[in-house]
Structures are given as structure tokens and as C-alpha cells.
Chain A
Amino acid sequence: MDLVAGLLLIALMALAARIVQLHVGPNDSLRRRIDQTRRYEDRLPEPRGRILDRHGNILAIDLAMRNVIADPSEVLASGNPRFIGLQLARVLQLDPAMVMARLNRPNRRFEYIQQRVPDETADLIRRMQLRGVSFDEVSARHYPQGPLACHVIGFANLENVGSAGIEQRFHTYLRGQPGLRVSEKDGRRREIFDRRVLDIPPQRGADIYLTIDQNLQYMVEKALESAIAEHQAKGAWAVVQRVRTGEILAMASLPGFDLNEYRSADDLQKLNRAIGYVYEPGSTFKVATIAAALNEHRVTPDQVFDCENGCWFFKGRPLRDYHPNGLLSVADVLKKSSNIGAAKITLTMEEKTVERYLRAFGYGAPTGVELPGEEGGILADRSQWTSLSLSRIAMGHEVGVTALQMLNMLCAVANDGMRVRPTIIRRLVDAEGHTLMESKPEFVAQPIRSETSALMRKLLARVTEEGGTGTRAAVEGYTVAGKTGTAEKAINGSYSSRANVSSFMGFLPAEDPDRIAIMVVVDEPQGAFRTGGVVAGPVFREIARQAVRYLDIPPDVPVEAGVENKPEPWRSL
């Protein structure tokens, strides 16, 4: 008996020693390690700011979503993992075999079943009380308008980092501040609520109001879409801009893509051609060179040039017109878009004068619109010009431009010579409602005097009149001033007569200070007639017709007066 008692006492003493060792032994490093593994730190997702159109319609917004997570070891321990797997597959509409494969990993404790599930679906699963299934809050980007204005808005990737368009350019504003929650976690790796020591709520990013008008944008995209279908074109793009302020009301580029499915879009679809596609403008460029010549008083509108019946040899190289002309006044050179006329007019100036004007009109440098990926176009330094360059530049060859640059030039010509930086941002408002930034018209340069501008408006208005190249761009009731352009694409070093870039740019009403300017480009239209007047003109008219009605711009021409034979308006100057 004493032996048994003694043995037991010794065992008890050994146990006591063990307990003392565990409690107050040298365990500081282990204690720290334990505390560390028990620490719970949750980064609370921060909603990204919204992107809205000028009237507050939502173009991009963050939705609260949930990730469905399973703890496979827990699910397998529940006794009927099959049931749990099938229920999950049914509600989430997944392949049951795939779900079962994910659950059948006894050594894993964390497995995504599906990411970014709407709240309602998550609640449905939560109500089933499936063991080992939990949820994770995330914030996911959603674009309610799908493909609308896709190139302007851009998209945020899965990590919520803006990767294109406004999303990219204004990422630092849109991005919110993530919240932080520090606490301790239990054996199932969930937070223990009453151990929370820090809880900083997330802060929403700033909202961005664009100058884009959602409805106008829609009209533009529809018009481009039908143009592409009609002409089997490779692409088409257009920009609508308020002339006085430089606000871009619509900017569309087709083909586009659904922003919610941006991952399946290819690089061509993602290209914002309106600012990222550099092409030789062709005749639309004559607006710049003729405006320069008029501003320099080298020519007057009624000065007559010989257009050589369609073919003129300059320095041994031929220059041709699309329609042969004889003698044309400067006004008619513009109206009929004579290459030979334009070349002769431009040749009245020195090279350095022409270059000064072109740079002042903004060629060769990005316009500075708040979008990533804007190209600056090509305008070679004067030292690299050949003796032929001036005659080529006169009609829009040897230069590369973007649609926005062309429109910007046209706006300067229309806007009393004032060039304003185009802008697509209206306002930045933070989560508390404070306005962080408000966009104001930003004067850049004045390439031509206001008298020259007034004269150009009259001359350009004649382009859409009877006998001009842009008759199909005319809008009933409005004076449309504009210019057609048909460029041949340079393919393998020589101009191709098959591949054209047809464009039309114009503004209306010509004399209204609240006028809007529209640029339409159609890339490689097919068919017998591929000129800017035939292909892009009607698109312009379609957009302009709806835009003036939508924007409530009053007509400036009485309808019956439009039929009358008006006197040459520029002669009265």
C-alpha cells in the first residue's frame, strides 16, 4: 500500500513540476509566436468611387459582393459533404463535379468555391446553414451600361486597380482608403467579436462626374454602329465637343467591348481610336492651312487659283484632284476640296510660318485631355521637311493626327481663334460631398484672329451647301460648317486606293456661341463611294440632328429660307 501511495505521489510531484514548467518556464518566444498566430487582421474592402455622366447617371459603381469560401476539412467532417457540395453547386450554378473536387481536399482549410457572388445568393446559402461554408466581403466593380463609353470609362481589374480610361487616370482619386480591423481569431479562424481592439471603417473613394452625356453617347454609338454595318468598315469613331468650353459630350470608338467582360476583349477592341489612332487626315487638314493663309493675309477668300484641271506637276511630281477643277476662288477650293488649290494657297507661305500655325493648332502634341493613352500625332520638325513637304502638308499628307486633335483645331477655328484644352472631367466629389476639383475651360493658344475665325465659319458653312463636298452632312434648319476628308492609307510605303480613312468634321449652328463640334471618322469603308462626304457625312448628320434636338439648340435657319438662293455670305465682309 505504501509502495502504491509512494509511486502515485512521485507521479503527482512530476506533474506539478511539468505544470510549473509550462506556466512560468522560459517560454517567451513561444508565447509571442502564439499571440502572433492568434492575431486577426482584416483589411476591410474600400468601395471605389463612382463614375457618373454629366447629369449624375451612374456609369461605374462598386457593388458589395461576397466570396463563397469552404473549409474542406470541416465540410468533410460534417458527415454529408455530398449534400453540401450539391447544394452549393445548385445555388451557384456550378458543375457539381468541380465543387466536389474542391471540397475533397481534407488537408486544406481554405478553398474558394466562387468569388464575387451577389449578396442575395450568399444569403440564400447562409440560410441553409451548411457546415464549413463561410463568406468574405468584397467590393466588385460593376458597369451598369455595359459597353457604353467603354473606352472613356475604362475598367478596374480584379485587384480593383484602374487599368484603362478614367479608371486608370483617376485611380488615386477613385481608390478609397481600406479599413482595418484588428482583433483575435478563434480556432476556426474567425474573428472573436469582443476581442476587437481596432476598427477603422473603410473610406469610399471620390466620385467623378464626366462631361460625357450618357444619352448623347448612346446616340453616337448607335450612329457609328449602323455606319459600320452599312459600309462594312473596320471601325468608326466620333467625338462630340462643346466648342466654347472644350467639354467632350461624347467620345465613342467602335468596335468596343462590354466593360463587365473586359477580360475577353482583345487589344483592338480596347483601343480608344479617337485619341489613340494616328492617321493621315487628308482634306480636313486644309482647314488649318487655309485658315493660316487667310490669317497671314497671303490670300483673300475671292482670290482665284488655277486648279489645272485635276493634275498639276509640282517639282516633277504630280498632284491630283478627285474632281478636276479649273479656276477656283479660295472659298471654292475649300468648298470643293481641291488639293491643287490648297497646295498653291499653302505655298504662298514660308515653311516656318506654316509650322508655327500647325503647332499653335496643337498638332504634334497630345491635346491634354484627361485620358491615358493619348497619342500626340506626327508633325515632323521643319528641318526634316523636303521641298515637297509644304504642298503635301497643305492637303493633310505627311502628318499624323488623332480625331481629337482635328476636332480641337476645328474648335479653335470656330471659337474666335481661341484654342481650349479639351476636357472630359466635370467635377470630382469626395465621399463627404466636398468638391475636390471643378473643371474650367482652359485657354491654351490663339492661333488665328477672331476676324479670320469669323471668315472661316462662313467659308466652312459653304461646304455643306449645294455644290460642296459635304452636302450629305447638312442638317435641316441649321447652318452646318464643316469639312470632309478622304485619306488613302499608307500601306507598305505607298498610298492604297482601296483602304481609306473617311472623315467629316463640323460644327453647328455655325454662328451660335453655344455651338457643338462633331468629328466622325470611318476606317476602311467598303463600296463604290468611300469619300468622307459620302461615308462620314451622313453619320455626322445623324449625330448632329439628334444632338441639337436633345441639347435643345434652337435652329438658326428658317426652313423656307434654307431653300432660297442665298447671296454669297462672305462677300458681305
Chain B
Amino acid sequence: MYRTMVILIGIVLILVTVGIVMLASTSSVQGGTQYHDPLFFVKRQAVGLVVGAFIALFAARLDYHYWRPLAIPLALASLVLLVLVLIPGVGQTVKGSSRWLRMGPATFQPSELAKFSSVILISWWMSRFQLHARELRMGLVYPLALLGLFLGLVFIEPDFGTTMLLAMVGMLLLFLGGSRVGYLAVAGVGGATLFSLAILHDPVRLRRITAFLDPEQYARKEAFQLLNAIYAFVVGGGRGVGFGQSLQKHFYLPEAHTDFIFAIIGEELGMKGSLGVLALFLGLFLCGLYISYRAPDRFGQLLGCGCTLMLSLQALINMGVVTGSLPTKGLPLPFISFGGSSLVASMALVGVLLNLARQAISEEDERDARCIRDAARRI
């Protein structure tokens, strides 16, 4: 288990390093023109990194069982903050979305907290009512209703990417927690229908979908980012154009330093760079899975799975969007994209995973336990 922890920490450190280095490259243009400081974004990210490191350390040292009684208060706090964001004047609206809360010089994105607290909430619920998991109400309706509160509030910000992510992770946790697949399938289809209806009523998002289906047609506006992200990979080729040499960051990709940073990695570092980052997330996923598998109790297992899925699904969706395999959604790439809240939330999730690893059943214990289990089964 010690080895897994070292690998996990190593992966995260590499990701964070790649992130800050690539941020220095990609954000220099926008920082230079917008704020007259090429390092503007790097400085802000460094602050997030320090805060994130402390929170990760704290989470790693805090016995994860303490999160159990905190599940409801944390969920309430997130909900309150999510409501606050919607109030004009309190929340900050950028490009039509109210996602940020301003606190002095810093801004904070409550949906990132929601990611963390929803994982804890569902894990707590499904372990607490483990015996009722196959019932319709206790196993599906109530936890889904709780999750629905988060989803609804995030949805009307609007932040469709995070809504999707929360819904997917939540459903997967319900499945892992023992809900009936049939119920989940019905709920999933229902949710997807609602989601599509909402999108059909939102011209901006609808155009994003149609643009995704036929990018050349919408090359001027809707698919501009999408096409340019794909161009970045194509231009990068096998070897990349060289660090700092990206052309796409010069306003071809307006979100080059946030959601589309993976494209710049592909352009500057080439295939070895982008596949490397993909491999790192694969490693993260496998480590997280292994740790969850070894968790000493049900709550730990679900919590570990939730954290792992949250990080790797987000990475997967982001890379899927950037490579043009999924319709455009505003989701940052964990550890790498610019965004303090996202970085801190990702670090906290890793911290929880590390604590799980510390308390994981060692191989010997496992072997002993298996003897007892096998003996019991024989009787």
C-alpha cells in the first residue's frame, strides 16, 4: 500500500508540475494582453496550489470516518453557497454563467465544493442504509432527490458540464452502493430526457451540439474552439512544435489556459505529451481503484470510488471534449487547467484517497481475513 501511495503522490506531483509549466506557456499571451503580466495566471494558480497542498495534507491526516458526521452539514453548506451564487450582486457572472463567489481578492466556485460534498453525501447514505439499498425509496428515490438538489442548482447556474459529471458520478456510486440496475436505468433515462429537453430549450447549448456534429459548418463561431483544438493536435504531430511555441494559444483557443489546455499540450509536446498525460490519469484511476478496493469498510470503499471517479471521469470528459469526441462542455482538466477552486477540490479528493490508503487493509490482514472468510464459507 505504501508503494501505491508513493505512486499516487508521484502522479499528482507530475500532473501539477506539468500543469503549472504548461500554464506558464499557454496563459502568457492572454495574461500579457489582458493584464499586462504574462505570469498573471501562473501567480494566481500558485496560490491555489499552496492552499490545495495544505488541504490535501489535512485531508490525508484526517481519519476519513470523520467525514461521515460532516456529510449533512457539508451538503447544506454547499447548497447554501450554490444558492448564494445565483443571487445577483453576490455571485459573479462571467459569459452568462453565475459560477463564482467573490471573497476579497479571491474567487471561489461553489460547484467545486459540491463535487466533494456530494461524493461524501452519497457514500454516507449508501453505507448508512446499506441494507435498504435495493429498495426503491431508500436505495434510489431519497439519495437521488438529495443529489437532485445539487444537480438542479448547478444546472441553473448554468454549468452543464459539472451537472453531467455530478450526475454520472452519483449514479455510479448508487450502482456501486447496491441500487437495483433496473431502477437506475429508468432514473438514468428519465434524467437524460430532462437534460435533453433543457438543452433543446437553450439555443446556445443546442448550437454547441449541432456544431459538434458538423464542425466545418459552424467553423466561424460555435465550432471555432472545437476545430482549433483539433487543429492543435494535428499541428503538434508526433513530436510537437516545442515548448512555448504553440500558435493556437494566440487567441485561436480563447480558453487555452483553462478548459482547452490539453490541446496546447498536444500541440507543444506532441503525441508523447498528450499520451503521457492520458497515462498519468490512467495511473491515477488505477491507484484510486486499488485503494478503494482495499478500504476497510463500505463507506471507505464508496468514498474512494467516488473520489477516483470524480477525478478520472472529469479528466476523461475534458479530454474527450478537447479531442472533439464529445460535445463542448465547460469542464477543466484536473490539476492542469487554470482555476484555483478546481485545483483545491482535486487536491482534497486526492487527500481523502491518501487517508484511505493509510488505513487500507494490508496484504497480510487481507490474507488472514480471507482464511477466516473461507473457513466460514466452508462451515
Contact = CB atoms under 8 A, between A and B. Distances in A.
Q: Interface range on chain B: under 10, 10 to 19, 20 to 34, or 35 or more? A: 35 or more
Nearest to B313: A8
A395 B142 CA distance: 121
A34 to B, nearest CB: 5
Interface string A4-20: 11001101101110111
Contact of B275 (A11, A19, A34): A19
B316 A15 contact: yes
Contacts of B285: 8-9, 12
8 contacts: A12-B282, A22-B230, A22-B233, A23-B236, A23-B237, A23-B271, A186-B250, A187-B228
A15 B279 CA distance: 11
A185 to B, nearest CB: 8
Given A4-B176, A186-B251, A19 B233 contact: yes
Interface string A31-53: 10011001000000000000000
B233 A187 contact: no
Pairs A-B, 8 closest by C-beta atoms: A187-B251, A186-B250, A22-B233, A23-B271, A187-B252, A186-B251, A27-B234, A188-B251
Given A12-B282, A23-B271, 5 more contacts: A15-B325, A19-B274, A19-B319, A31-B235, A31-B237
Given A31-B234, A34-B234, A20 B271 contact: yes
Given A1-B293, A22-B266, A107-B220, A184 B233 contact: no
Contact of B233 (A23, A35, A188): A23
Given A15-B319, A18-B325, A22-B233, A4 B172 contact: yes
A515 B312 CA distance: 99
Interface in B326-368: none
Given A24-B237, A34-B234, A19 B323 contact: yes
A431 to B, nearest CB: 35
B226 to A, nearest CB: 12
A30 interface: yes
Nearest to B271: A23
Nearest to A24: B238
Interface in B209-246: 220-221, 228, 230-231, 233-238
A14 B323 CA distance: 11
Interface residues of A, number: 30
- Pick the most buried of A8, A14, A22, A27: most chain B CB atoms within 10 A of its CB: A22
A198 interface: no
Interface string A161-201: 00000000000000000000000101110001001000000
B320 interface: yes
Contacts of B293: 1
Q: Would you call the interface of chain B mostly helix, strand, loop, or mixed?
A: helix
A192 B250 contact: yes
A27 B305 CA distance: 39
A38 B274 CA distance: 23
Most buried by A among B234, B238, B285: B234
A24 B253 CA distance: 21
Nearest to A25: B234
Interface in B269-296: 270-271, 274-275, 278, 281-282, 285, 289, 292-293
A184 to B, nearest CB: 6
A16 B237 contact: no
B96 to A, nearest CB: 12
B238 A23 contact: yes
B305 A22 contact: no
A446 B176 CA distance: 116
A66 B85 CA distance: 46
Nearest to B305: A1
Interface in B163-190: 172, 175-176
Contacts of A14: 325
Contacts of A20: 271, 275
A487 B224 CA distance: 76
B309 interface: yes
B143 interface: no
A19 B278 contact: yes
Contacts of A38: 247
A427 to B, nearest CB: 49
Contacts of B271: 19-20, 23-24
Interface in A248-303: none
A4 B270 CA distance: 30
A5 B251 CA distance: 38
B234 A12 contact: no
Nearest to B225: A187
B254 interface: yes
A192 B244 CA distance: 13
B25 to A, nearest CB: 14
Contacts of B172: 4
Contact of B278 (A5, A12, A188): A12
Given A1-B176, A15-B320, A187-B252, A8 B312 contact: yes
Contacts of B305: 1, 4
Nearest to B320: A15
Contacts of B230: 22
Contacts of B309: 4, 8
Interface string A67-104: 00000010000000000000000000000000000000
A187 B219 CA distance: 13
Nearest to A20: B271
Nearest to B248: A187
A293 B289 CA distance: 122
B278 A15 contact: yes
Interface in B6-58: 29
Contacts of A22: 230, 233-234, 266, 323-324
Contact of B235 (A1, A34, A188): A34
A9 to B, nearest CB: 8
